Structure 1
């Protein structure tokens, strides 16, 4: 029997599952996996989804479950999207989600992180109950629905953010789908049905023409549909060469404005292209700042939808007078995905090298309590407090190693890091003469005072000027050039997660009038990717920082230290690694280890007259596998 939820149209027989892994055959119909529910529910500002023209600053309850009908390389939500449902997992029913949304005074519910295409029947039930209570309903989706499903879907959603993979068929085949045609067809139909639509597209080096064609195609539907350009972050097996600089991304956004009135740039700290400008006269109307990779937030409330020139900005719903700000660490894709990624990074160093073994660990009792508590703000806060300080991070490693029954390997990693901590601690006793500024991407985007990166500076004996900041954001906050000039840092570090080429960085310093000593003496340093946050590789970042703050005094060979770490915990030399932005992967290429990935395929056995799932060993990177269904006789 075929599943008709999406255009993949999987054939699901009695003992099988579809691509999503969330639908089963119940005899004469396809149903959601029994007992499936939502694994997390957190209040967020709508800009964190992101949607920028719908109830600005409105508070919505963001939910997620497991499964996805696509297999996209570099997916930031890969863990929940790739996981399979389990009746053991603590989950929320639609009625429980509605109760929570009402209790927390949310305007509505929004499904994100994994695609609601994989949870369509669950999401439909939730929508029915939510609308009965006058709650708004929306989602972030690849919108690969069939026409018949879309007609129903469009009746119960108020808003969607459609993630467009590209215009060309190749863009969709890379994700295991056929073409972009169903997506543009569905966007057009939803627009005609009165659903509020915003779109997203990933921009990587080399796909400029494809991104422009996406803008043209969306413009054919309506030039007023906002387009969110997601600057590509190379994760998984993607090489860092595919990542455009913030400056390059800003240039293509300017080109896209020939087709669309509202183009926004994400994953780019400090960019001015998160703001809303009048499409008629170019005046700045709404100012936003970077708020985690996929999110933004309003600098001040949106009080008017009209420009002084008389033109009107298409916005649905009233703006909230006082914007909602997520408490603690709750956020869109980024925090939940980063939690999984940081645990993944530790497990990788402990020798868990293939994704399905990792998912087995998540799925068993070993880490089930972490997974099931992921919706608990106290648990998230506890985890993030542990990974903020060097010594408490060692406790984080022990915690994960114990849950994975790998305590001996955990102690090996802890011992390696602890020895280097003592070296830096002894060096830092003499203090550094440098004021230090730590930023991300732009010289005007300062990392939050309490983050690991600034604590590494303090641990190394530097004086972090970021500690003077009172305002907080998720990763950081925007600052003025005067803040940097007045504190006159002698060294500036640029984050290893979201950076900007140094030539662009110095050009921006000149543009903004930043003349701190670090700039004039060219002591601005890019931290190597994932050497300062998210991965145990931060110990190498600490050594790097200490070496810059105490020139010639560290007494260790940084290259040898990197080689030792990579050999011991990744099985490769540092010089052989091809770095990218992934927390858990040290290289964008294939590791020297033989890795086995289990891909569930369908095998038809006519003699028995049934279709069953079997684990098939495939020695290829999982996210480079095509979606496949094998049928054979025998």
Structure 2
């Protein structure tokens, strides 16, 4: 039998469950896999989905399950989306979801992480029950439904965020399907049916023309439909070269505004393009800040929908008087990240083959980890474990025991423990540096309690981030005066979401940041996942300690990296290929050879230049060229 849920139209019989892996046939009809339910349900602000023009700051119960009909390279939700349902999984039924939504006083329910295409009948059941209780219903979806399914779908959803892979058929073939046309057809039909529609598009390096065509095509439906530009963060097998810088992503947004009134930029800490500006006069109407990848939050509640010029901004639904802000790992995206952190440990234990990983994950003991990771109490426990160096060792032991790999786990713990003692002895003599840790932008500070700031403290540095009282999901926006007043001597840029140093110094100049770290060129990019999310943080700790105690660490950083990569990834450090995955071995340009830039007058390479300052990567440290800097103060 052919499945009619989506345009892939899989053949499903007693030997096949289709691409989603969640449907079965009884010989006469296609059914949802027996016992399938939702793996998590967490209250979030609607901006975290993200939806920006729908019930601003409204509290919704975010749910997710398993399976997906697409196979996108670089998927940030690869683990839950590519997994298959199992009788070993504990899950929540639609009625249990509705009960939670009512108990937690949510406005509605929203399905994210994996696509509701993969659990359509489950989602339909949830939607029907939600409507009976006057709850709103929505989802984030690739919207690859067939026309007949979409007609039904459009009658039981109130809002959607449609993730568009691109305008061309090629962009969809990269995700394992044939055409882009069904998505634009379905967006148009949902809009005509009165469903609140917002759209998202992935922007990777070199995809400018394709993204502009997406905006042009959406504008043919309505110029009022918001477009969320998702700066591509390569994970899985996607190469780091596909990641545009925050600055590159910011440059494309004005071109998109020629077609659409409301264009927003995500995955870009510190950007001002999460704000809503009046399409008529350009006035700032709503200010938002980065909350997490694919999420944002309002800086202050929405009080007016009308600009001073008289233009009315198309928001639907009542705005909440204050924003709901989830804590720790308590939301669907962070749960996916928790799975990624488990994956990162398993990789270091020797599970390097993805198929083997999925086989192990399906066994009873690691399925127990899956179930526990979805549990709020375990999420809180994991959140606390991964914030401090020594407690992270408990996290490794927990995962290793569940995977029956305790011996290999002890090897990893022992390796980390030996280096911790080296840094601990060094930090007994406190560093004289005030240290600032940011993510992507100089004005986006990492939360005080995060692992990165604890690595600074462990190394003997004085983290000025610890002075921050306000908390966000990953961090919070700060003023230039906060940085200047504390005058950090060293600034680290997070290895999770970073920004090239030329852009970073240019922003410091723009914002008037003249702290010692900036004027003396002591700003350092941490390599991907060397400070959070992966056991590689031990290398990040050594790197941080070396910068805070110049010449005193007493270890060869390159040898340490090689030893770690050989022992736990089976490859040399320089052979590894980087991206944003926690589990994937990464290297790229060694931090000591990063290009340095002028602060006030930056001599940028001419267009078309092929000069690469990272070409000296294989030279000994003492033979690396010294790039002199001029400072105009």
TM over 0.5: yes
1:454 to 1:420, Cα distance in 2 relative to 1, 3 A: same
Deviations 1:78-117 (A, max 9, x none): 1110001112211111111111101110000000000000
Q: How does 1:154-169 map to 2 (within 5 A)?
A: 154-169=154-169
Deviation, structure 1 residue 587: 4.2
3-state DSSP of counterpart to 2:137:
strand
**Would the aligned equivalents of 1:43 and 1:106 in 2 still touch at CA under 8 Å?**
yes
Deviation at 1:359, TM superposition (A): 2.2
Mapped partners of 2:240, 2:37: distance in 1: 36
- For 1:67-466, what aligned pairs fall within 5 Å after superposition? 67-333=67-333, 335-466=334-465
In the aligned structure 1, how far is the partner of 2:544 from the partner of 2:497? 17
Is residue 142–residue 183 contact of structure 2 (8 Å, CA) maintained in 1?
yes
**Deviation digits for residues 560-613 of structure 1 (CA, Å, limit 9, x no counterpart):** 110111111111111112211111011499xxxxxxxxxxxxxxxxxxxxxxxx
Aligned-residue offset at 1:381: 1.0
| Corresponding residue for residue 551 of structure 2 | 552
Measured in 2, the distance between the counterparts of 1:434 and 1:466 equals 13
Task: Give 3-state SS (helix, strand or coil) of 1:21's partner.
Answer: coil
* Residue pairs, 1:604-623, within 5 angstroms: none
Q: Report Cα offsets for 1:8-61 as digits up to 9, x if no partner.
A: 000112221111000011111001001111110000100000000000000000
Distance 2:373 2:395 in 1: 15
1:498 aligns with 2:497: yes
CA distance in 2 between counterparts of 1:234 and 1:243 reads: 6
**Contact (CA 8 Å) 2:369, 2:402: kept in 1 or not?**
no
User: Aligned equivalents of 2:128 and 2:236: distance in 1?
Assistant: 37
* Per-residue deviation, 1:363: 2.2
- Secondary structure in 1 aligned to 2:532? coil
The answer on whether the counterparts of 1:238 and 1:588 sit within 8 Å (CA) in structure 2 is no
Partner residue in 1 for 2:604 = none
Q: What is the CA–CA distance in structure 2 between the aligned matches of 1:61 and 1:588, rounded to whole Å?
A: 38
2:68 pairs with 1:64: no
What per-residue deviation string (whole Å, max 9, x for no partner) do you get for residues 473-521 of structure 1? 1100000000000000000000011000111101100110101000010
Whole-angstrom distance in 1 between the partners of 2:327 and 2:486: 29
- TM-score normalised per structure 2: 0.92
Q: Cα distance, 1:324 vs. partner? A: 1.1
Superposition deviation, residue 234 in structure 1: 1.2
SS of equivalent residue, structure 2 residue 292: coil
Give the direction of change, closer, same or farther, for the CA distance of 1:256–1:332 in structure 2 (3 Å limit).
Answer: farther
Count of matched residue positions in the alignment of Structure 1 and Structure 2 = 588
CA contact (8 A) 1:295 1:332 kept: no
Structure 2: segments with no counterpart, 5+ residues? 589-633
1:372-399: CA deviation from partner (whole Å, max 9, x where unpaired): 1333222111001111111111111111
Note the aligned Cα RMSD (angstroms). 1.0
Partner residue of 1:564? 563
TM-score normalised per structure 1 = 0.92
